[in-house]
Amino acid sequence: MTRKLRILVVGLSLLLLTIGLSACSSKPAAYNPHKKLGPQINYTITGIDAGAGEMGAAQKALTAYGLKSKNWQLQTSSTAAMTSTLDKAIKNHQAIVITGWQPHWMFTKYPIKFLKDPKNVFGKTENLHTIARTGFKHDNPGAYKLLSQFHWTKSEMSEIMLKVNDGQDPAKAAKNYISKHPKQVAKWLAGVPEGHGKKVKLTYVAWDSEIASTNLVKQLLDSKGYDTTIQSLEAQPMWASIATGAADASVSAWLPTTHGLYAKQYKGEFVDVRVNLKGAKTGLAVPKYMKNINSIEELKNK
Protein backbone atom coordinates (compact mmCIF):
# COMPACT_ATOMS: atom_id res chain seq x y z
CA MET A 1 0.00 0.00 0.00
CA THR A 2 1.27 3.45 -0.77
CA ARG A 3 1.45 5.95 2.07
CA LYS A 4 -1.33 8.02 0.53
CA LEU A 5 -3.59 5.01 0.20
CA ARG A 6 -2.90 3.99 3.81
CA ILE A 7 -3.88 7.45 5.07
CA LEU A 8 -7.01 7.28 2.99
CA VAL A 9 -7.96 3.85 4.38
CA VAL A 10 -7.34 4.90 7.98
CA GLY A 11 -9.31 8.09 7.40
CA LEU A 12 -12.21 6.23 5.88
CA SER A 13 -12.37 3.70 8.71
CA LEU A 14 -12.35 6.48 11.28
CA LEU A 15 -15.18 8.17 9.40
CA LEU A 16 -17.21 4.97 9.28
CA LEU A 17 -16.57 4.34 12.97
CA THR A 18 -17.81 7.83 13.84
CA ILE A 19 -20.93 7.42 11.72
CA GLY A 20 -21.53 4.00 13.26
CA LEU A 21 -21.14 5.27 16.83
CA SER A 22 -23.34 8.31 16.34
CA ALA A 23 -26.03 6.17 14.71
CA CYS A 24 -25.90 3.90 17.77
CA SER A 25 -26.12 6.68 20.31
CA SER A 26 -28.97 8.49 18.54
CA LYS A 27 -31.10 5.36 18.38
CA PRO A 28 -32.86 5.05 21.74
CA ALA A 29 -32.63 1.77 23.59
CA ALA A 30 -35.40 -0.72 22.91
CA TYR A 31 -37.56 -2.00 25.76
CA ASN A 32 -35.65 -4.54 27.85
CA PRO A 33 -37.99 -6.88 29.78
CA HIS A 34 -35.07 -8.13 31.89
CA LYS A 35 -34.34 -4.70 33.32
CA LYS A 36 -36.52 -2.67 35.69
CA LEU A 37 -39.12 -0.66 33.81
CA GLY A 38 -38.98 2.56 35.88
CA PRO A 39 -35.46 3.65 34.91
CA GLN A 40 -36.15 2.84 31.23
CA ILE A 41 -38.81 5.57 31.10
CA ASN A 42 -37.57 7.89 33.82
CA TYR A 43 -40.48 6.76 36.04
CA THR A 44 -42.73 8.84 33.78
CA ILE A 45 -46.23 8.19 32.49
CA THR A 46 -46.94 10.17 29.32
CA GLY A 47 -50.22 11.97 29.93
CA ILE A 48 -52.51 14.40 28.11
CA ASP A 49 -54.14 17.78 28.84
CA ALA A 50 -54.19 18.85 32.48
CA GLY A 51 -57.97 19.40 32.25
CA ALA A 52 -58.79 15.84 31.18
CA GLY A 53 -60.83 13.81 33.63
CA GLU A 54 -58.53 10.90 32.98
CA MET A 55 -55.51 12.85 34.26
CA GLY A 56 -57.24 13.16 37.63
CA ALA A 57 -57.79 9.41 37.68
CA ALA A 58 -54.17 8.79 36.67
CA GLN A 59 -52.95 10.95 39.58
CA LYS A 60 -55.13 8.92 41.93
CA ALA A 61 -53.68 5.73 40.45
CA LEU A 62 -50.12 6.90 41.19
CA THR A 63 -51.06 7.16 44.87
CA ALA A 64 -53.32 4.09 45.04
CA TYR A 65 -50.69 1.79 43.56
CA GLY A 66 -47.81 3.21 45.63
CA LEU A 67 -46.07 4.60 42.57
CA LYS A 68 -45.92 8.16 43.81
CA SER A 69 -43.71 7.21 46.75
CA LYS A 70 -41.39 5.47 44.29
CA ASN A 71 -40.98 8.74 42.38
CA TRP A 72 -43.25 7.90 39.46
CA GLN A 73 -44.74 10.97 37.84
CA LEU A 74 -47.43 11.88 35.37
CA GLN A 75 -46.32 14.14 32.56
CA THR A 76 -48.90 16.64 31.33
CA SER A 77 -48.96 17.25 27.58
CA SER A 78 -51.72 17.03 24.96
CA THR A 79 -53.35 14.30 22.92
CA ALA A 80 -51.25 15.30 19.91
CA ALA A 81 -47.97 15.29 21.87
CA MET A 82 -48.83 12.02 23.60
CA THR A 83 -49.73 10.20 20.38
CA SER A 84 -46.60 11.46 18.64
CA THR A 85 -44.43 10.27 21.57
CA LEU A 86 -46.25 6.93 21.38
CA ASP A 87 -45.64 6.76 17.64
CA LYS A 88 -41.89 7.25 18.08
CA ALA A 89 -41.67 4.80 20.98
CA ILE A 90 -43.41 2.10 18.98
CA LYS A 91 -41.21 2.67 15.93
CA ASN A 92 -38.16 2.18 18.17
CA HIS A 93 -39.66 -0.66 20.20
CA GLN A 94 -39.12 1.38 23.35
CA ALA A 95 -40.91 1.21 26.68
CA ILE A 96 -43.71 3.72 27.23
CA VAL A 97 -46.74 4.05 29.52
CA ILE A 98 -49.54 6.39 28.40
CA THR A 99 -52.96 7.52 29.54
CA GLY A 100 -55.08 5.75 26.92
CA TRP A 101 -58.79 5.66 26.19
CA GLN A 102 -61.36 4.08 23.96
CA PRO A 103 -62.95 5.03 21.63
CA HIS A 104 -59.89 6.56 20.01
CA TRP A 105 -57.91 5.80 16.86
CA MET A 106 -54.76 5.14 18.94
CA PHE A 107 -56.14 1.64 19.57
CA THR A 108 -56.71 1.09 15.85
CA LYS A 109 -53.41 2.53 14.72
CA TYR A 110 -51.03 1.12 17.32
CA PRO A 111 -50.60 -2.30 18.97
CA ILE A 112 -51.35 -1.20 22.53
CA LYS A 113 -53.20 -2.73 25.49
CA PHE A 114 -54.82 -1.41 28.67
CA LEU A 115 -53.13 -2.35 31.94
CA LYS A 116 -55.37 -4.12 34.44
CA ASP A 117 -56.64 -1.88 37.20
CA PRO A 118 -57.46 -4.21 40.10
CA LYS A 119 -58.14 -1.27 42.43
CA ASN A 120 -60.65 0.06 39.90
CA VAL A 121 -59.28 3.62 40.03
CA PHE A 122 -60.33 4.32 36.42
CA GLY A 123 -63.75 2.74 36.98
CA LYS A 124 -65.04 -0.11 34.86
CA THR A 125 -66.31 0.68 31.40
CA GLU A 126 -68.00 4.00 30.80
CA ASN A 127 -70.70 5.07 28.42
CA LEU A 128 -71.03 8.22 26.37
CA HIS A 129 -74.29 9.97 27.25
CA THR A 130 -76.40 12.52 25.45
CA ILE A 131 -77.47 15.24 27.89
CA ALA A 132 -79.83 18.15 27.35
CA ARG A 133 -80.92 21.31 29.16
CA THR A 134 -84.07 20.77 31.23
CA GLY A 135 -86.50 22.71 29.00
CA PHE A 136 -85.18 21.42 25.68
CA LYS A 137 -87.69 18.60 25.15
CA HIS A 138 -90.55 21.04 25.64
CA ASP A 139 -89.08 23.80 23.46
CA ASN A 140 -87.84 21.65 20.59
CA PRO A 141 -89.48 18.20 20.67
CA GLY A 142 -88.39 17.42 17.10
CA ALA A 143 -84.68 17.88 17.70
CA TYR A 144 -85.07 16.15 21.07
CA LYS A 145 -86.62 13.14 19.31
CA LEU A 146 -83.60 12.83 17.06
CA LEU A 147 -81.25 13.04 20.04
CA SER A 148 -83.25 10.39 21.87
CA GLN A 149 -82.85 8.05 18.85
CA PHE A 150 -79.15 8.63 18.20
CA HIS A 151 -76.75 5.89 19.29
CA TRP A 152 -73.95 3.98 17.59
CA THR A 153 -70.98 1.71 18.23
CA LYS A 154 -67.27 2.25 18.72
CA SER A 155 -66.41 0.80 15.32
CA GLU A 156 -68.98 3.01 13.60
CA MET A 157 -67.58 6.07 15.38
CA SER A 158 -64.07 4.99 14.30
CA GLU A 159 -65.05 5.37 10.65
CA ILE A 160 -65.35 9.13 11.13
CA MET A 161 -62.46 9.41 13.62
CA LEU A 162 -59.96 7.74 11.28
CA LYS A 163 -60.97 9.95 8.36
CA VAL A 164 -60.57 13.07 10.48
CA ASN A 165 -57.23 11.79 11.74
CA ASP A 166 -56.19 11.40 8.08
CA GLY A 167 -56.90 15.09 7.60
CA GLN A 168 -60.49 15.08 6.37
CA ASP A 169 -62.70 17.95 7.46
CA PRO A 170 -65.02 16.67 10.25
CA ALA A 171 -68.17 18.07 8.59
CA LYS A 172 -67.25 16.32 5.35
CA ALA A 173 -66.45 13.06 7.15
CA ALA A 174 -69.86 13.24 8.87
CA LYS A 175 -71.64 13.88 5.56
CA ASN A 176 -69.83 10.91 3.98
CA TYR A 177 -70.89 8.72 6.89
CA ILE A 178 -74.51 9.76 6.34
CA SER A 179 -74.43 8.91 2.65
CA LYS A 180 -72.78 5.53 3.36
CA HIS A 181 -75.25 4.39 6.04
CA PRO A 182 -78.75 5.18 4.77
CA LYS A 183 -80.51 2.46 6.81
CA GLN A 184 -78.99 3.55 10.09
CA VAL A 185 -79.67 7.20 9.28
CA ALA A 186 -83.32 6.39 8.51
CA LYS A 187 -83.67 4.91 12.02
CA TRP A 188 -82.12 7.97 13.64
CA LEU A 189 -84.43 10.27 11.67
CA ALA A 190 -87.60 8.16 11.98
CA GLY A 191 -90.56 10.34 12.93
CA VAL A 192 -88.42 13.45 13.37
CA PRO A 193 -90.42 16.44 12.08
CA GLU A 194 -89.01 19.14 9.80
CA GLY A 195 -87.04 21.76 11.70
CA HIS A 196 -88.02 24.80 9.57
CA GLY A 197 -84.82 26.57 10.58
CA LYS A 198 -85.31 26.08 14.31
CA LYS A 199 -82.02 26.70 16.11
CA VAL A 200 -80.15 24.02 18.05
CA LYS A 201 -76.95 24.64 19.98
CA LEU A 202 -74.72 21.69 20.77
CA THR A 203 -71.64 21.98 22.97
CA TYR A 204 -68.84 19.43 23.18
CA VAL A 205 -65.33 18.80 24.40
CA ALA A 206 -63.03 18.57 21.41
CA TRP A 207 -61.79 15.00 21.92
CA ASP A 208 -61.54 13.04 18.65
CA SER A 209 -64.53 10.92 19.67
CA GLU A 210 -66.76 13.94 20.34
CA ILE A 211 -65.62 15.76 17.21
CA ALA A 212 -66.95 12.73 15.32
CA SER A 213 -70.29 12.38 17.14
CA THR A 214 -71.07 16.10 17.41
CA ASN A 215 -70.40 16.77 13.74
CA LEU A 216 -72.52 13.78 12.78
CA VAL A 217 -75.47 14.89 14.94
CA LYS A 218 -75.20 18.41 13.55
CA GLN A 219 -75.38 17.06 9.98
CA LEU A 220 -78.34 14.84 10.91
CA LEU A 221 -80.25 17.75 12.45
CA ASP A 222 -79.42 20.07 9.55
CA SER A 223 -80.59 17.41 7.08
CA LYS A 224 -84.03 17.72 8.70
CA GLY A 225 -84.00 21.49 8.38
CA TYR A 226 -82.73 22.47 11.83
CA ASP A 227 -80.12 25.21 12.10
CA THR A 228 -77.44 23.66 14.29
CA THR A 229 -74.38 25.33 15.73
CA ILE A 230 -71.66 23.43 17.54
CA GLN A 231 -69.28 24.91 20.07
CA SER A 232 -66.28 23.24 21.67
CA LEU A 233 -65.58 23.95 25.33
CA GLU A 234 -63.59 22.51 28.23
CA ALA A 235 -65.46 19.84 30.19
CA GLN A 236 -66.54 22.09 33.07
CA PRO A 237 -68.00 24.89 30.90
CA MET A 238 -69.58 22.28 28.62
CA TRP A 239 -71.54 20.89 31.58
CA ALA A 240 -72.30 24.39 32.83
CA SER A 241 -73.62 25.39 29.39
CA ILE A 242 -76.24 22.62 29.59
CA ALA A 243 -77.07 23.23 33.26
CA THR A 244 -77.59 26.96 32.77
CA GLY A 245 -79.45 26.50 29.48
CA ALA A 246 -76.85 28.46 27.48
CA ALA A 247 -76.70 25.43 25.18
CA ASP A 248 -79.36 22.85 24.28
CA ALA A 249 -77.55 19.54 24.36
CA SER A 250 -74.30 17.62 24.21
CA VAL A 251 -73.43 14.12 23.06
CA SER A 252 -70.11 14.14 24.89
CA ALA A 253 -70.77 13.24 28.54
CA TRP A 254 -68.45 10.48 29.76
CA LEU A 255 -70.17 8.71 32.67
CA PRO A 256 -70.07 7.51 35.36
CA THR A 257 -66.35 8.16 36.05
CA THR A 258 -64.68 10.79 33.87
CA HIS A 259 -67.42 13.43 34.18
CA GLY A 260 -68.89 11.97 37.37
CA LEU A 261 -68.14 15.08 39.41
CA TYR A 262 -70.01 17.33 36.99
CA ALA A 263 -73.03 15.03 36.85
CA LYS A 264 -73.12 15.21 40.65
CA GLN A 265 -72.56 18.96 40.79
CA TYR A 266 -75.37 19.67 38.29
CA LYS A 267 -77.77 16.97 39.47
CA GLY A 268 -81.34 17.97 38.59
CA GLU A 269 -80.15 20.74 36.28
CA PHE A 270 -79.79 18.59 33.15
CA VAL A 271 -81.62 15.72 31.45
CA ASP A 272 -79.74 12.47 30.89
CA VAL A 273 -81.30 11.76 27.48
CA ARG A 274 -79.68 8.41 26.72
CA VAL A 275 -76.47 6.42 26.24
CA ASN A 276 -75.28 7.08 22.69
CA LEU A 277 -72.22 4.80 22.79
CA LYS A 278 -71.48 1.85 25.06
CA GLY A 279 -68.18 0.50 26.27
CA ALA A 280 -65.90 3.52 26.51
CA LYS A 281 -62.87 3.05 28.73
CA THR A 282 -59.96 5.00 30.17
CA GLY A 283 -56.79 3.69 31.76
CA LEU A 284 -53.04 3.32 31.54
CA ALA A 285 -51.84 1.58 28.40
CA VAL A 286 -48.57 0.16 27.05
CA PRO A 287 -47.41 -1.35 23.74
CA LYS A 288 -48.28 -5.05 23.40
CA TYR A 289 -44.59 -5.94 23.06
CA MET A 290 -44.22 -5.11 26.77
CA LYS A 291 -45.47 -8.65 27.34
CA ASN A 292 -44.50 -8.93 31.01
CA ILE A 293 -46.37 -5.75 32.02
CA ASN A 294 -50.10 -6.38 32.28
CA SER A 295 -51.29 -4.57 35.38
CA ILE A 296 -50.72 -1.14 36.93
CA GLU A 297 -49.55 -3.01 40.03
CA GLU A 298 -46.58 -4.37 38.08
CA LEU A 299 -45.20 -0.94 37.18
CA LYS A 300 -43.72 -0.58 40.64
CA ASN A 301 -41.70 -3.74 40.75
CA LYS A 302 -40.87 -4.58 37.19
- Which residues contact ligand PBE (rule: CB under 6 A)? 48, 52-54, 101, 207, 235, 254, 258, 282
Q: What are phi and psi of 131, to 5 degrees?
A: -120, 155
Shortest spacing between CB 278 and ligand PBE, in angstroms? 14
Region for residue 279 given its phi and psi (left: phi exceeds 0; alpha: psi -120 to 50; beta: otherwise): left
Cβ burial 118-131 (10 Å sphere, 16+ → b, else e): eeebbbeebbbbbb
CB 101 within 8 A of CB 47: no
Query: Quick one: 94 or 282, whose CB is closer to ligand PBE?
Result: 282
Query: Quick one: 58 or 192, whose CB is closer to ligand PBE?
Result: 58
Shortest spacing between CB 66 and ligand PBE, in angstroms? 23
Provide CB contacts within 8 A for 296, sequence distance 6+.
61, 65, 67, 115, 116, 117, 118, 119, 121, 284
Shortest spacing between CB 30 and ligand PBE, in angstroms? 28
Query: Quick one: 213 or 282, whose CB is closer to ligand PBE?
Result: 282
Query: Quick one: 219 or 252, whose CB is closer to ligand PBE?
Result: 252
Alpha-carbon span 84 to 98, nearest angstrom: 11
Using CB atoms, what's the residue nearest to ligand PBE? 54
Shortest spacing between CB 237 and ligand PBE, in angstroms? 13
Q: Please name which of 82, 12, 78, 26 lies closest in space to residue 49, comparing C-alpha atoms.
A: 78
Shortest spacing between CB 179 and ligand PBE, in angstroms? 28
Query: Quick one: 107 or 207, whose CB is closer to ligand PBE?
Result: 207
